[in-house]
Amino acid sequence: MNSLASKIVAVVISLLLFAYVGYQAYVSFYKPYETEIVKEGTYIYDVDLDGFFVRDETVLDTKKQGVVSYRFKNADKIPKDATIARMYENESDLYNLRKVEKLKEQKSILQEALKTKNTEQLDVISNQVSASQLDLLKQVDDGNLTNLNNTYKDLLLNINKKELSINKNANISETITNIDNQITKLTSEISNKNIDVTTNKAGYFCNYVDGFETVFTLDSLKSISINDVQEKLKNKKTQPQENVGRIQSDTTWHFVSLIDAKDAESFAKGQAVTLKFSSKVSKKVTATVVDVISEKDNKKSVVVFTGNFFDEDISTMRFEKPKAIMKSYSGIQIPKEAIRVENGKKGVYTLLGKTVRFRLVDPVYEDNDILVSKSNSDTKYVSVYDKVITKGKDLHETK
């Protein structure tokens, strides 16, 4: 073979080798389908809300002065003519008062211990001490601090009772006299210019006044419109007032929300829904739809909810953007782009190795993004962990 022929053969072999390598690379990297593994779970259908709270509220006229010490927490129920707070001229007055209250508690515990002196056996008292200690530790571990102070008082009482049983020479009466002297001294140092704040109305207390109490009233709900709600939401900056607080007549509240008109179609009067708030803490509350306001050609609607779950967080909320949880659906969650219709039946194409199969779906919920299919043991239906084809051309079953 001459040199020219050898060169031609070499070139041809090189081209064939290059073509083979290129084909293998194409086969290795070419993926005709995009897939996704489907899993079982719970799909929650919710609607975004944007609105404000309306309550039957009365603002207390008294303005804050000096240092304010509140006798009630937010959302606490208060009786008529209750003293809800005391305003002190300075911080030292408040400090002295709290110290006096603690001393009075100590005195009361010591007096109770004296009453039971020599009336209980030492082993019984020792068991009471141990029980109080365990109860205290359990409450701290559980994070249940509601009754912590009372448990602490019980522990101190039992410890003092044990001390009296062991030490017959313990002079608690002298200790009580010393406490009385301290109380007298501290009380004399507290200014007589301090002011008690009372209310002539029973209800539920809140120490935060945001300036919208006289704007968002129950009467305003009678003639509320979509435009009115839109304007209020444009000017939703609260302006905290210096008033000592406000009283809500009962635990009932209304939440007025602006939503898309299309979403409003999911609501009806009397319908119960769950509102999920998350601005302060994650909180779910049950509410009822009391009104749905829609207007022709308006892309927005208003839905008014009412509820009576009431706590410290709800009592201070005004402008919020919760979610209305409408329903939840359990099943296999399938992306909508994987759904196909073959011979009038809805399903998906699945890929196992290089084998393509059509599997039916059993829808329990469907929207523009997802289809939730009921789990079905029949092999004709899609199963958990199937690899469904979300993108691909000329789909058909393969053998």
Alpha-carbon span 355 to 59, nearest angstrom: 72
Cα–Cα distances (Å) from 293 to 104, 192, 220, in that order, read 58, 56, 14
Shortest CA distance to 76 belongs to which of 315, 306, 317, 318? Answer: 315
Alpha-carbon span 179 to 102, nearest angstrom: 10
Task: State how beta strands 203-206 and 272-277 pair.
Answer: unpaired
**b (16+ CB within 10 A) / e for 239-277:** eebebbbbbbeebebbbbbbbebebbebbeeebebbbbb
| CATH fold label, 34-42+329-391 | 2.40.420
- Please tell me the predicted confidence (pLDDT) of residue 83: 92
Residue 315 pairs in a beta bridge with none
List all residues 6 or more positions away from 327 whose beta carbon is below 8 Å from its beta carbon: 44, 45, 365
Q: List alpha helices for 204-245, DSSP H.
A: 226-234
- The three-state secondary structure class of 119 is coil
Instruction: From first to last of the 399 residues of the chain, give the pLDDT tens digit.
Output: 556 666 666 656 666 666 555 545 444 444 677 899 999 999 988 999 999 999 999 999 999 888 888 989 999 999 999 999 988 877 787 788 888 888 888 888 888 777 776 666 777 777 777 887 887 787 777 776 667 777 777 777 777 777 777 776 677 788 888 888 998 888 887 777 778 899 989 999 999 999 999 999 999 999 899 999 999 999 888 888 999 999 999 999 999 999 999 999 999 999 999 999 987 677 889 999 999 999 988 999 999 999 999 999 999 999 999 999 988 899 999 999 999 999 999 999 999 888 899 999 999 999 888 999 999 889 999 999 999 999 887 787 876
Domain extent listing, the chain? 34-42+329-391, 50-61+206-321, 91-188
Cα–Cα distances (Å) from 63 to 71, 203, 216, 246, 356, in that order, read 16, 19, 21, 11, 75
Alpha-carbon span 329 to 327, nearest angstrom: 7
- φ, ψ at 54 (rounded to 5°): -125, 130
Q: Tell me, rounded to whole angstroms, the distance of Cα 195 from its chain centroid.
A: 37
Asked if residue 287 lies in contact with residue 273, where contact means CB atoms within 8 angstroms, the answer is yes
Asked if residue 165 lies in contact with residue 120, where contact means CB atoms within 8 angstroms, the answer is yes
Residue type, 71: R
Residue 112 parent element (H or E): helix 91-115
